[in-house]
Structure 1
Amino acid sequence: MKKILFFIICCFILTGCVQKAYKQTVIYTLKVPAREEIKSVGIRGNDKPLSWEQDTELKKINDSDLYQVKVTFVTGYKFTEVKFTINGEYELQNMPNRRVEFKNSGITHYNAVFNQP
C-alpha cells in the first residue's frame, strides 16, 4: 500500500511542476530605412519556431518600406527575445535583444524600425 501511495504522490508532484503552454501569435512589422540592395529581411530569436541560427523571412508589404511576418509560439513564457536581420546581418550589434511581451489575448502586434531600439 505504501508503494502505491508513494507512486501516486510522485505522479502528482511531477505533473504539478509542468508549466502550462499557450499559443501566442506575434505579428512583427518592421520598417526598413532606405538602403541599397536588400536581398532579404529576417528575424531570429529564442523560441521555436524561431532560432538564432537561421532567418525566418519577413515579406515586403506592397511597395512600402515595411516588412511583416506572423509567428505562432507554443510557450509557457510571457515574452520572447528577437533581433531582425538584413541580408543575414544582425541589427543592434553589441546591444540587448528586443524583448517582446505577449498580450493576454494571445495576439501581439510588434512594430519596430530596423537598428533602432
Structure 2
Amino acid sequence: MNKIVLLIISCFIMSSCVQKAYKQTVIYTLKVPAQTEVKSIGIRGSDKPLNWEQDTELEKINGDNVYQAEVTYLTGYKFTEVKFTLNGEYELQNMPNRRVEFKNSGITHYNAVFNRPVK
C-alpha cells in the first residue's frame, strides 16, 4: 500500500513541475549605421534555436542597411536574451544582453539599431 501511495505522490509532483511551452515567433529587424562595412550580420541568443556559439544570419531587406530574421521559439518563458553580431563580433561589449519580451499574441516585432542599447 505504501508503495502505491508513494508512486501516486511522485507522479503528481513530477507532472506539476512541467511548465507548458508555447510557440513564440520574433521578427528581428536590425538597422546598421550607414558607412558600415558589412560582411555578415547575425544574431545569437540564450534560447533554442539560437545559441551563443554560432550566428543565425539576418537577411538584407532593403538598400538602407536594414536586416531581418524570423526566429520561432518553443518556450515556457516570457522573454529571451539576444545580441547581434557584425562580421562575427558581438555588439554592446561589456553591456547587458538585449531582453526581448514576448507578446501574448505569439508574434513579437523587435526593432534595434546595431550597437545602440534600448533606452
Structure 2 partner of 1:33:
33
Q: Which amino acid aligns with 2:100?
A: V
Q: Distance in 1 between matches of 2:90 and 2:35?
A: 15
Structure 2 partner of 1:15:
15
Q: Distance in 1 between matches of 2:36 and 2:79?
A: 33
Q: Distance in 1 between matches of 2:102 and 2:108?
A: 6
Q: Distance in 1 between matches of 2:74 and 2:2?
A: 38
Structure 2 partner of 1:71:
71
Structure 2 partner of 1:100:
100
Q: Which amino acid aligns with 1:8?
A: I
Q: Name the count of aligned residue pairs.
A: 117
Instruction: Give me the CA root mean square deviation.
Output: 0.9
Quote the offset at 1:36 in angstroms: 4.2
For 1:6, what is the secondary structure of its paired residue?
A: helix
For 1:39, what is the secondary structure of its paired residue?
A: coil
TM-score by length of 1: 0.96
Quote the offset at 1:107 in angstroms: 0.5
Quote the offset at 1:53 in angstroms: 0.5
The list of structure 1 runs, each at least 4 consecutive aligned residues, that deviate by more than 4 angstroms after superposition, is none
Quote the offset at 1:112 in angstroms: 0.2
Query: Cα deviation per residue 1:70-117 (whole Å; 9 max; x = unaligned)?
Result: 000011111000000110011111111000000011110000000000
Q: Distance in 1 between matches of 2:112 and 2:63?
A: 18
Q: Distance in 2 between matches of 1:36 and 1:25?
A: 29
TM-score by length of 2: 0.94
Query: Cα deviation per residue 1:13-64 (whole Å; 9 max; x = unaligned)?
Result: 1110111111110000000012343110000010010011010000000322
Q: Which amino acid aligns with 2:31?
A: K
For 1:13, what is the secondary structure of its paired residue?
A: helix
